[in-house]
Structure 1
Amino acid sequence: MPSRQRTRELRRTLWPRGLRARLLVAFVLVTVLGAAAAAWSSAGSASTALVTSTQARLAETIAGQIGAITPELTYPPDQESLDRLRAAVGPNTLVTYQNLRSVSGDGTELITDAVRTEVRGGNRLVTQRIVAEGTPWLLVGTPVVITQPDGDSAPSGIEVYAVHDLTDVEQQIEGFTRSAAGTAALALPPAVLLALVAARSVLRPVREVRDTARRLAAGDLDARSPPRGADELAELTVTINEMAESVQTSMAAMQRMQADARRFAADVSHELRTPLSTLTAVVEVLAATADEMAADSRESAQLAITETHRLVRLVEDLMEVSRFDAGSARLHSEEVDVVGAVRDCLRVRDWLNRVELVAPEEIRLRLDRRRLDVIVANLVGNALRHGTPPVRVRVLTSHEQVWIEVTDSGPGIPQRVLPYVFDRFYKADAARTRTPGSGLGLAIALENARLHGGELTADNIDGGGARFVLRLPVSISAP
């Protein structure tokens, strides 16, 4: 398996990744391989024809030479007759008759037993190509046939063997091979040029579609690509344009809905301020006289007081969210002792006896004290409501950041909930709809952190418990 994996990795490394490069490589390979295949096929055919014609010509020449001298021989032949026949055939020739032999040249030792057996048994001309010590040879063997007085042919017992060097033929074949290679090489430059032209024509609409997709991804919903031609790429371009039109329509509708929702929340919050102010004043009077009421009336009064305060906080949070959405939220920066601001936040809400504060004596930054108080109050209040004591607040600093860490000892935040803890109105438990919070506290804390150029994150600590960390850059510190 490792070797297969390495092979696949090597292929991915060697094979071009870009579409342009792959088109060029594929087009050039197809063109060059086609030209090479055609050239090699032609060279192979020419080589076969050359060898066959050479073999036939040599065999025909030997047969003619033997036929011309045969009538002049005496039968049974003597040594002189064999020498005459061998001289007529030419060099590298062996003539045999029973125990008599006539030899010339050094190549006759290449004659194989297979050729001798076929000549003696078949009474016909036999040829065989062999390679000896790197040199190609053609072996030709034939019996000498005599015509009897009655006109019939009969073997004379004389056997003629000739050996011919085919080096010249081999050199011609190598020439054909070089010519085929040269043809394939000559096809490479035109193939590259054609591939460049083809890739350009194919990739231009692809690049246009890519650029359009990038513009759409960057938020330019008016981006479109003009379709060219009537091929698949043109159909893809039309599809991309239709998709962009659909997305643009949907986004416009969504933006209108969001704007309407934000305006509605802002308007409702604003309209509720006046009646809530009156209701709050009434509730305060009710709270002052609650102790004098009967038990049932006192319980109802306490419920009304609690729900009124909850409604006031909800309206205040909605107005704050509206300011963030409208982009009208502004920092009112001043030089602040961060440790002192955190301690004051806990003391005002009577949390000092329920929360452990771990911090140095003083850390000074230039920030919005009210918004820092909102962040800390939301984080600590969330830990007290949903976590388990002890709740700890740590304030630390470095050369680049100041961070405030709020942890509890509860079960922590479920993994499925972590991505949504800063979403507006999100509640991990759907059944817990009447919690004191508005469901906007963590979302407001996150917006305030971003307004300071910082960040707010949530996770779990080892051993149990949730952890929220506010990070503020030191670049906002006072000189």
Structure 2
Amino acid sequence: MRGLRSAARAIVRMSSALMRTWRRSLQFRVVTTTVLLGIMVVSLLGSYLYNEIATGLQDDRIQTSEYEARALTTQAQDQWDSTTATTVQELNQAASDIMKSKLTPPGPEPSRYVVMLRGVKNNSPTQLNALESGGLGLSAVTRDIREKVAADPTHQQTMVSDVLIDGRQVPAVFVGTGVEVPGAGRYDLYYIYPMLQELRTMSLISTAFGLAGLVLTALVGAVAWVVTKQVVTPVRRAAEVSERLASGKLNERMPARGEDDLALLGTSFNAMADSLQSQIRQLEGLSRVQQRFVSDVSHELRTPLTTIRMAGDLLYDARADFGPVTGRSVELLHGELDRFESLLSDLLEISRFDAGAAALDTAPVDLRGTVAGVVAAAMPLAERRGSTIRVVAHGPVEAEVDERRVERILRNLVVNAIEHGDGKPVTVHLRAGDGAVAVLVEDHGVGLRPGEASMVFTRFWRADPARARTTGGTGLGLAIALEDARLHNGWLQAWGEKGQGSRFRLTLPQKAGESLTSSPLALSPGERT
């Protein structure tokens, strides 16, 4: 039993390895398919030829047997016509002499067997002994051939059936005819021609066909392997060069030799790579200019903004001394200065990400405390919007993170849920497991339309441009949150349905620098973790 289980496991492993090779290797698929089709074609063609040859040999054997049986019967009838025997004993002796001298072939392995039997419709009172040559036995003559001879005694009757020779069944040609014995009536002669030579011939042909089929299939497989190698090798080389290009090695190129289709593929691929390299370098240059511009503008605006802020604060503190219109204008100015200062800070943060200057300051943190702080800070906004915030924590949620950046991510998610929750409850889920921690913020508000889940992290993108920002958002909060998550080797993902609400899930590795494979919390309601 243990041996069977081991064999079964070995078969399963081998099958899995073959399936992996089948999925991954185009060359293996082409060669295997070609060999299988070759085996099928060779088998069909071999079977057809085998059957045609066997039919031809059998037809030839039947024709030869009929001709030989007719000649032997004529000789036997001539002997009977010239006999002077009259008594039963003399007639039996004559029949035996004719069987031995005329009908029995010489040699140890007879080419035919002959059986003489009294005719089915013979009513003569004189009865001769049944005779047979070669020791085949009288029972070898079947009822079918006897009935055919009795039904039409004027013509030879032929059929093919099996006979038992040396303990094995051998196909044989049966030819039935008859002679008139003087004074004893009609006696039937049955000639049995075993097709032993034909069997040996067909066995030789079968062996030759099998060997030829194996050699031909192997040659077809070898040809398919060589041909596919010539095609697959450049394709694999193109895939390798593509991977290196994708990794940032823009100077990689394919070798292109000759003038065939594969050379054209290499030339076209290299031209595409040159074009991509040129455009990427242009885009990199434009990106650097843009980043430098944003950074420079953000820094340059700091000084005048500080001056404007000081003046605005003075006006705001003295707004009670102004008239209603002027006082309201000062309040609006103060609010817009807050938004402008937040926007400037976000632009500076984005520029640091673009420049690759952002760094983590990690430490062990239980995210339950971080979430509690974020929820407490967002409670005034939630109360104004009529929302409640519920935190559901499944045990300790500890990880090595930069708490300042994680708090900024969670603040953006919670505020975003309150703003778009239409006054409905907001739930924050926390869980740790499988080397990761996850925080999921769920609301039941307007939700997201199809395709918007991948756009919410785009800079300055808004689902509804006409929707008012009650908290003075800059449009960069979720973009910065995504960069903060990526800085931790984490995921920040969104899901939503129109009118059903939305979910934002932050997943971070528990150990700094490690990679994620799964999240402890499901993003969508029907997803399994």
- TM-score, normalised to structure 2, is 0.67
| Secondary structure of the structure 1 residue equivalent to 2:152 | helix
- 2:447 is the alignment partner of 1:422: no
Aligned pair partner of 2:223 in 198, 204, 212 = 198
For residue 347 of structure 1, report the CA deviation from its aligned partner. 6.2
Show the counterpart of 1:278.
Answer: 304
Aligned pair partner of 2:38 in 27, 38, 44 = 27
| Secondary structure of the structure 2 residue equivalent to 1:422 | coil
For residue 200 of structure 1, report the CA deviation from its aligned partner. 2.2
- 2:313 is the alignment partner of 1:313: no
For residue 161 of structure 1, report the CA deviation from its aligned partner. 2.5
Indicate conservation of the 8 Å contact 1:223/1:244, yes or no: yes
For residue 440 of structure 1, report the CA deviation from its aligned partner. 1.8
| Secondary structure of the structure 2 residue equivalent to 1:332 | coil
Q: C-alpha separation between the residues in 2 aligned to 1:458 and 1:430?
A: 19
Show the counterpart of 1:56.
Answer: 67
Q: C-alpha separation between the residues in 1 aligned to 2:173 and 2:462?
A: 95
| Secondary structure of the structure 2 residue equivalent to 1:112 | helix
Indicate conservation of the 8 Å contact 1:126/1:142, yes or no: no
Residues 1:278 and 1:347: Cα distance change in structure 2 (over 3 Å): farther
For residue 445 of structure 1, report the CA deviation from its aligned partner. 1.0
- Which structure 1 residue ranges, 5 or more long, are not aligned? 1-11, 146-155
For residue 439 of structure 1, report the CA deviation from its aligned partner. 2.2
Q: C-alpha separation between the residues in 1 aligned to 2:469 and 2:269?
A: 43
Give per-residue Cα distances to partners, 1:289-318, cap 9 Å, x unaligned. Answer: 545444445555544444443343333323
Give per-residue Cα distances to partners, 1:145-199, cap 9 Å, x unaligned. Answer: 9xxxxxxxxxx99645211232xx3222221231122112322542354134213
Indicate conservation of the 8 Å contact 1:94/1:104, yes or no: yes
| Secondary structure of the structure 2 residue equivalent to 1:330 | coil
For residue 329 of structure 1, report the CA deviation from its aligned partner. 0.9
Aligned pair partner of 1:450 in 480, 486, 507 = 486
Residues 1:186 and 1:250: Cα distance change in structure 2 (over 3 Å): same
CA-atom RMSD in angstroms:
4.7
Indicate conservation of the 8 Å contact 2:173/2:195, yes or no: no
- Which structure 2 residue ranges, 5 or more long, are not aligned? 1-14, 23-27, 104-113, 133-137, 514-529
Letter aligned with residue 279 of structure 2: A
Show the counterpart of 2:506.
Answer: 470
- 2:185 is the alignment partner of 1:185: no
- TM-score, normalised to structure 1, is 0.72
Q: C-alpha separation between the residues in 1 aligned to 2:276 and 2:463?
A: 29
Q: Which moved more, 1:435-444 or 1:252-261?
A: 252-261
Give per-residue Cα distances to partners, 1:60-98, cap 9 Å, x unaligned. Answer: 22223424653x368xx9976797478536463357787
For residue 216 of structure 1, report the CA deviation from its aligned partner. 1.8
Question: What does 1:421-440 align with in structure 2 at a 5 Å threshold?
Answer: 421-432=456-467, 436-440=472-476
Indicate conservation of the 8 Å contact 1:32/1:187, yes or no: no
For residue 267 of structure 1, report the CA deviation from its aligned partner. 0.7
Q: C-alpha separation between the residues in 2 aligned to 1:22 and 1:113?
A: 54
Show the counterpart of 1:92.
Answer: 115
Q: C-alpha separation between the residues in 1 aligned to 2:116 and 2:369?
A: 120
Residues 1:445 and 1:88: Cα distance change in structure 2 (over 3 Å): same
Show the counterpart of 1:170.
Answer: 195
Residues 1:347 and 1:182: Cα distance change in structure 2 (over 3 Å): closer
Give per-residue Cα distances to partners, 1:301-347, cap 9 Å, x unaligned. Answer: 54444444334333332332222222211123467675665555566
Residues 1:356 and 1:32: Cα distance change in structure 2 (over 3 Å): closer
Q: C-alpha separation between the residues in 2 aligned to 1:125 and 1:472?
A: 96
For residue 49 of structure 1, report the CA deviation from its aligned partner. 1.7
For residue 444 of structure 1, report the CA deviation from its aligned partner. 0.8
Q: Report percent identity of matched pairs.
A: 23
Q: C-alpha separation between the residues in 2 aligned to 1:139 and 1:327?
A: 100
Q: C-alpha separation between the residues in 1 aligned to 2:95 and 2:325?
A: 147
Q: C-alpha separation between the residues in 1 aligned to 2:44 and 2:434?
A: 65
Residues 1:303 and 1:265: Cα distance change in structure 2 (over 3 Å): farther
Q: Which moved more, 1:261-270 or 1:293-302?
A: 293-302
Letter aligned with residue 482 of structure 2: L
| Secondary structure of the structure 1 residue equivalent to 2:197 | helix
Q: C-alpha separation between the residues in 2 aligned to 1:126 and 1:335?
A: 103
Indicate conservation of the 8 Å contact 1:94/1:101, yes or no: no
Q: C-alpha separation between the residues in 2 aligned to 1:251 and 1:308?
A: 43
Indicate conservation of the 8 Å contact 1:269/1:315, yes or no: no
For residue 256 of structure 1, report the CA deviation from its aligned partner. 3.1
Aligned pair partner of 2:175 in 136, 139, 142 = 139
Question: What does 1:75-114 align with in structure 2 at a 5 Å threshold?
Answer: 84=94, 87-88=97-98, 90=103, 92-94=115-117, 99=124, 102-105=128-131, 107=138, 112-114=146-148
Residues 1:317 and 1:396: Cα distance change in structure 2 (over 3 Å): same
Q: Which moved more, 1:18-27 or 1:131-140?
A: 131-140
